[in-house]
Amino acid sequence: MAERTIDIQVMLSIVGLDKRLDLLEALAEGEKSNAELVQQSSAPLGVWGHLQQLAEVGLITKIVYSSRSVFYRINPDAIEKLAAYFGGLLKVSTEEVHDDPA
């Protein structure tokens, strides 16, 4: 199996928190403003910090339309990279099952 890259490890460590996963799921519906994400959050404190972490590792993109208009969206390339990684794990897992001589 291909060697795991550092960016996959970092992305997985960042999405390990429920709040960050909730934010990603909200953004799967489409681009949203910081205010919309805060309103949708069950725990609005710290949303901005979680968005910053997700943006720093490339899972989401921050779009600044003006000083009062900041939006976020999912970065499809990063999500595809994670999907490919897990797809590779699934392929290895099923190959090992099929290669079992027992």
Q: Which stretch of 3-7, 10-14, 24-28 has the lowest confidence by average pLDDT?
A: 3-7
pLDDT of residue 2: 46
**For residues 26 and 86, what is the distance between their CA atoms, to the nearest angstrom?**
22
Ordered by where they begin, the domains of the chain are: 6-95 (1.10.10.10)
pTM: 0.76
User: What does the block give as tokens for 26?
Assistant: 């909200």
Q: Is the pLDDT of residue 4 over 60?
A: no
Give the pLDDT band (50/70/90) at residue 94. low
